[in-house]
């Protein structure tokens, strides 16, 4: 039989056509399917569901990490009240979280939940609690935990935490005493011990103890550890031996930003501008781009406006001119060279400001009524003044003749009180330097002497501090004291 394809629906068999029959059958089948579909459609149709407003409102709000931590501690407190014993690992994890978030108050609550016997026996748990307290400035609580530890000599960790706590609070002698005790008890120091010890050496200016620590570093095998060597560079630079600082710096195989910044700061501190600029150029050449610390160090340390402007140009090309630290340093740079319009323009363009920004612009206008306007603006935006703000404002008032003789002594006394007792951390050379200059302006010998002696320890090579004290004594007609300070300068090799 011959079959010839004519169309998809039509075949010819001999001479008989099957098209019509096939078409009829297909039509009937389509109508039947359509009928079934129409009859079944209503039965399969349901309204689309949607969440009720009640359920939407009940959706929990996302918690912050502190809120989540607080909720967990609430649950644990409830469990302990019901007599449920908690595993040491739970406490350990929570103390680690508190440390990461610096949630000291939450740490107090966790401490109250830990059985005393468990805390004394579990060295890992007590070490984490000690570190939390020490890092938060609660050094007495930290030392109490340390004293209660039964196996505190098992590792250097608890010792390191306590030494670090004392060093961060400026209690350098206590930090070093603890290090000596650590040696006496036979505890092996690690790579985290030495940077903390060297920081304490820098704090009291003891290069002798620093050199002893250096020898111990070599004996313990950390002579090529970049983390430890960075701390050595910083110690030698701050203790006055810039040659040894550079020698150690040259031995660091892989220098990071900390390495470069330590050397850069050291050169600036010693007034070695050419060497500081060379370090800055080497950083760029070695593709270790200076960060805000390095840039700020150069900007505030260079006496030349031309060099400062060149660094400013580099800053602009890198697009970091509005970093708060960099912008603050630029304000200081231009105000030091009496470019107040430029300093003010920078200040006004800053996207965000901190207390240093306000202090810089107020200090820049210390001989101008604008200083008081800036201070008023500072208060209006809710920025909190510190002791430097107060001293800068006092100097401005003195220059403008706005402080009466009777008020001056009271204001200086208040500034001194803030410097000694009213600051979170120990006052540095900026605060004492501003206070010394104010005492010079107002002939306040007593507080001037105290400020000067602090500066002699903080900046032993800065002859300007000695000269200011001599002027204070000279104005008070105390010629013997003038001569005494002059002899001190000669003994320190500062006589010009």
Residue among 292, 237, 299, 238 nearest 273 (CA)? 299
**Dist. CA 207–CA 494, nearest whole Å:** 20
CATH code of 257-352, in short, is 1.25.40
Residue among 98, 42, 28 nearest 70 (CA)? 98
Whole-model pTM: value is 0.67
HSE, CB side, 13 Å, CA atoms: give it for residue 407: 8
Compute CA distances 73 → 87, 117, 145, whole Å: 14, 20, 21
Contact 203, 457 (CB under 8 A): no
For tokens 């790579």, what's the residue? Answer: 191
**Dist. CA 161–CA 167, nearest whole Å:** 10
Phi and psi, residue 304, nearest 5°: -100, 125
pLDDT the model gives residue 407? 56
Torsion, CA 339, CA 342, CA 344, CA 346, rounded to 10? -140
Q: What would the two tokens of residue 59 be? A: 């959706």
Consecutive 10-residue averages of pLDDT for the chain (496 residues): 38 38 48 48 47 48 83 90 89 94 92 92 93 94 93 93 94 95 94 96 92 95 94 94 95 93 92 92 89 91 90 93 95 94 96 94 88 89 83 73 53 68 64 81 87 87 89 92 90 72
**Dist. CA 210–CA 206, nearest whole Å:** 6
Phi and psi, residue 13, nearest 5°: -110, 115
Q: What would the two tokens of residue 18 be? A: 């099957």
Compute CA distances 61 → 55, 70, 72, 359, whole Å: 13, 15, 16, 40
pLDDT the model gives residue 20? 45
Residue among 168, 159, 104 nearest 132 (CA)? 104
CATH code of 162-254, in short, is 1.25.40
Class in CATH terms, 372-496: mainly alpha
Residue among 217, 263, 257, 273 nearest 238 (CA)? 263
Label residues 260-274 b or e (16+ Cβ within 10 Å = b).
bbbbbbbbbbbeebe
């Amino acid at each position: 039989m011959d079959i010839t394809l004519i169309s998809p629906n039509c075949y010819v068999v001999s001479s008989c056509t099957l098209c019509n029959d096939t078409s009829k059958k297909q039509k009937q089948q389509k109508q039947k399917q359509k009928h079934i579909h129409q009859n079944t459609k209503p039965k399969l149709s349901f309204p689309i569901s949607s969440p009720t407003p009640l359920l939407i409102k009940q959706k929990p709000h996302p918690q912050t990490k502190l809120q989540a931590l607080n909720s967990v501690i609430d649950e644990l407190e409830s469990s302990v009240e019901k007599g449920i014993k908690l595993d040491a690992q739970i406490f350990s994890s929570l103390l680690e979280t508190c440390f990461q978030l610096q949630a000291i108050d939450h740490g107090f609550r966790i401490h109250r939940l830990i059985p005393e016997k468990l805390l004394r026996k579990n060295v890992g748990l007590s070490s984490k609690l000690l570190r939390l307290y020490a890092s938060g400035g609660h050094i007495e609580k930290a030392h109490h935990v340390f004293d209660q530890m039964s196996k505190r000599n098992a590792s250097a960790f608890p010792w390191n935490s306590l030494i670090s706590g004392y060093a961060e609070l400026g209690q350098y002698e206590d930090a070093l005493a603890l290090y000596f005790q650590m040696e006496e008890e036979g505890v092996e120091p690690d790579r985290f011990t030495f940077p903390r010890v060297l920081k304490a050496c820098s704090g009291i200016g003891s290069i002798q103890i620093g050199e002893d620590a250096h020898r111990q570093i070599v004996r313990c095998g950390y002579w090529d550890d970049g983390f430890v060597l960075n701390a050595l560079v910083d110690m030698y630079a701050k203790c006055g031996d810039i040659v040894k600082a550079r020698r150690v710096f040259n031995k660091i195989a892989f220098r990071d930003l900390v390495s470069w910044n330590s050397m850069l700061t050291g050169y600036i501190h010693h007034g070695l501008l050419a060497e500081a600029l060379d370090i800055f150029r080497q950083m760029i050449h070695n593709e270790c781009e200076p960060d805000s610390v390095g840039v700020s160090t150069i900007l505030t340390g260079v006496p030349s406006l031309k060099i400062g402007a060149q660094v400013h140009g580099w800053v602009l090309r890198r697009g970091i001119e509005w970093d708060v630290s960099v912008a603050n340093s630029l304000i200081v740079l231009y105000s030091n060279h009496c470019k107040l319009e430029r300093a003010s323009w920078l200040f006004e363009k800053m996207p965000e400001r901190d207390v240093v920004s306000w202090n810089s612009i107020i200090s820049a206008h210390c001989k101008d009524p604008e200083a008081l306007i800036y201070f008023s603006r500072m208060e209006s935006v809710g920025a909190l003044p510190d002791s430097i703000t107060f001293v800068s404002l006092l100097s401005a008032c003195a220059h403008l003749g706005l402080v009466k003789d009777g008020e001056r002594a009271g204001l200086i006394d208040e500034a001194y009180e803030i410097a000694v007792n009213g600051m979170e951390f120990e006052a540095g050379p900026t605060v004492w330097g501003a206070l010394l200059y104010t005492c010079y302006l107002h002939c306040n010998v007593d507080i001037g002497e105290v400020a000067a002696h602090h500066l002699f320890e903080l900046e032993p090579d800065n002859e300007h501090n000695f000269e200011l004290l001599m002027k204070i004594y000279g104005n008070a007609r105390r010629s013997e004291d003038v001569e005494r300070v002059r002899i001190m300068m000669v003994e320190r090799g500062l006589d010009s």
